[in-house]
Amino acid sequence: MSRKVPYRFYLTEDQMPTQWYNLRADMKEQPDPLLNPATLEPLKEEDLYPIFCKELAHQEMDSKTRYYDIPEEILGMYKIYRPSPLIRAYNLEKELGTPAKIYYKFEGNNTSGSHKLNSAIAQAYYAKKQGLTSLTTETGAGQWGTALSEACAYFGIPLTVFMVKCSFEQKPFRKAVMQTFDADVIPSPSTTTQVGRKILEENPGTTGSLGCAISEAVEKATTTEGCRYVLGSVLNQVLLHQSIIGLEAKKAMEILEEYPDVVIGCAGGGSNLGGLISPFMRDKIVDGKDVRIVAVEPASCPSFTRGKYAYDFCDTGKVTPMAKMYTLGCSFMPSANHAGGLRYHGMSPILSKLYHDGLMEAVSYEQTAVFEAAKLFARVETILPAPESSHAIKGAIDEALRCKETGEEKTILFGLTGTGYFDMTAYSAFHDGTMKDYIPTDEELEKGFEKLPKVDK
């Protein structure tokens, strides 16, 4: 018998994890290596030094070290907003009439409104430690740009953010938040980079994509002295930093004498999901634990469920290394009426490998169904969820409703990655009925696949 658990459970500061966990160290089959696009040879750590700072390049390539001590300075900043609460969704369970127990780990308790700050702090810290003089990045919906602005302001590093143009226009207040933290925010594609000018020439009316913004930021980093690029998702190093989410969640559940039967998370580039599942996936791989892991993605940007497992560029301008991952092709741009975030064409190579090997599942939902789940959740749990996070909510609700049918008392854990206060344009479209679902046709996806680089690996 598990004892009655509180609505909100916080680890104490002393119980907080002091190490990150590197899931690759326990994966029996490793993800395929990053490739140098010029030679098609596997990249070496040094090849990454012009793009990333050295410690992060090391973390990116390190599949051996199981645990990394979290530096004191980073822990010091984590403790401002962590541990994040593990919440038992009693109200949601009651509303659904499910016998399932639903828990969620809420990462929206910081100014970025998302889990992204967990990696932003680490990346800014290592850049500062190496003596770099500026950083640059891209942001889609704006959470990553905000998180990194916070972290850079804290460590005193100037930051340029390339923000996908349609978000820049839809979310003017995001820019104001980033400016509060002294970031320079540029709508992408822009005329400030060669690759941006080229994309604009070929596609004059484009409202941008994450892939374009990444190309611009990478160009800026590689052409500016003392400047490096940082990325908020997809990369191995980001999953490493985000493991704090899963480690906290697992420890909290241990104290509550609980263990999830199903772990559910939304998937854009895979960072929150990779972080949340890492210790549970470890248990599955190493100890043979019977835990299901489910990724939830938008039907309008279905990398896992309809993408190809292939080598591809991580950006539209093809300036980055190539990664083997589930991808819709680096030229893929989600429909402009897609409001729910999670717009990236590819997926974390670690998660891609796990999915390919059958260790996790994936589902996709249309955005109106996702917003319905968001509304139901907000009404009973009082948190206004980010559209991205609402994909996980929808996944958890559907799982709980299946339990209602079968009478199974499963324990469900999902990741509530953030809040949706900057997504009111999307919420308004949902409320007034103008939000449309868009599912790309096979022919449309085929166009993206045709342009995949020809790599015989």
Provide the mask over 43-82, with x wherever binding to ligand PLP is found by CB under 6 A and - wherever it is not. ----------------------------------------
**Region of 60-68, 281-289, 299-307, 383-391 interacting with ligand PLP (CB under 6 A):** 383-391
Helix (H) or strand (E) run with residue 135 in it: strand 134-139
If one asks whether residue 267 binds ligand PLP (CB under 6 A), the answer comes out as: yes
If one asks whether residue 389 binds ligand PLP (CB under 6 A), the answer comes out as: yes
Checking phi first, is residue 96 left (phi over 0); if not, alpha (psi -120 to 50) or beta?
A: alpha
As measured in angstroms, the least distance from the Cβ of 6 to ligand PLP is 25
Q: Say which amino acid occupies 218.
A: V
As measured in angstroms, the least distance from the Cβ of 140 to ligand PLP is 7
Instruction: Give CA–CA dist 381/438, Å, rounded.
Output: 29
As measured in angstroms, the least distance from the Cβ of 214 to ligand PLP is 13
As measured in angstroms, the least distance from the Cβ of 351 to ligand PLP is 9
Q: Position of tokens 């083997």?
A: 324
If one asks whether residue 143 binds ligand PLP (CB under 6 A), the answer comes out as: yes
If one asks whether residue 22 binds ligand PLP (CB under 6 A), the answer comes out as: no
Spatial contact of 299 and 436, defined as CB atoms under 8 Å apart: no
Which of 227, 231, 266, 310 contacts ligand PLP by CB under 6 A? 266
Q: Position of tokens 């249309």?
A: 366
If one asks whether residue 233 binds ligand PLP (CB under 6 A), the answer comes out as: yes
Q: Say which amino acid occupies 282.
A: R
If one asks whether residue 299 binds ligand PLP (CB under 6 A), the answer comes out as: no
As measured in angstroms, the least distance from the Cβ of 171 to ligand PLP is 12
- Whichever of 343 and 410 has its CB closer to ligand PLP, that residue is 343
Give the number of other Cβ atoms within 10 Å of residue 222's Cβ.
14
In this structure, the strands spanning 411-416 and 262-266 are parallel
- Whichever of 98 and 143 has its CB closer to ligand PLP, that residue is 143
Provide the mask over 274-293, with x wherever binding to ligand PLP is found by CB under 6 A and - wherever it is not. --------------------
Binding to ligand PLP (CB under 6 A) within 399-418 occurs at 417-418
Provide the mask over 340-379, with x wherever binding to ligand PLP is found by CB under 6 A and - wherever it is not. -xx-------------------------------------
DSSP 259-305: --SEEEEE-SSSHHHHHHHHHHHHHHHHS----EEEEEEETTS-HHH
If one asks whether residue 272 binds ligand PLP (CB under 6 A), the answer comes out as: yes
- Whichever of 189 and 268 has its CB closer to ligand PLP, that residue is 268
If one asks whether residue 123 binds ligand PLP (CB under 6 A), the answer comes out as: no
As measured in angstroms, the least distance from the Cβ of 98 to ligand PLP is 24
Which of 145, 187, 268, 395 contacts ligand PLP by CB under 6 A? 268
CA nearest neighbour of 43 among 420, 349, 445: 349
Instruction: Give CA–CA dist 217/135, Å, rounded.
Output: 9
DSSP 64-98: S--EEEPPHHHHHHHHHH-SPPEEE-HHHHHHHT-
Instruction: Give CA–CA dist 263/15, Å, rounded.
Output: 22
As measured in angstroms, the least distance from the Cβ of 293 to ligand PLP is 14
Which of 119, 167, 271, 352 contacts ligand PLP by CB under 6 A? 271
If one asks whether residue 298 binds ligand PLP (CB under 6 A), the answer comes out as: no
Report CA Rg, the chain: 20
For residue 160 the two structure tokens come to 């340029």
CA distances in angstroms from 449 to 140, 345, 431, listed in the order given: 23, 11, 35
If one asks whether residue 116 binds ligand PLP (CB under 6 A), the answer comes out as: yes
As measured in angstroms, the least distance from the Cβ of 240 to ligand PLP is 13
Length of the chain, in residues: 457
Instruction: Give CA–CA dist 204/95, Å, rounded.
Output: 48
As measured in angstroms, the least distance from the Cβ of 260 to ligand PLP is 18
Q: Say which amino acid occupies 137.
A: T
- Whichever of 138 and 219 has its CB closer to ligand PLP, that residue is 138
User: How many chain residues bind ligand PLP (CB under 6 A)?
Assistant: 20
DSSP 399-418: HHHHHHHHT---EEEEEE--
Give the number of other Cβ atoms within 10 Å of residue 309's Cβ.
16
Residues that bind ligand PLP (CB under 6 A): 114, 116, 143-144, 233, 266-273, 341-342, 386, 388-389, 417-418
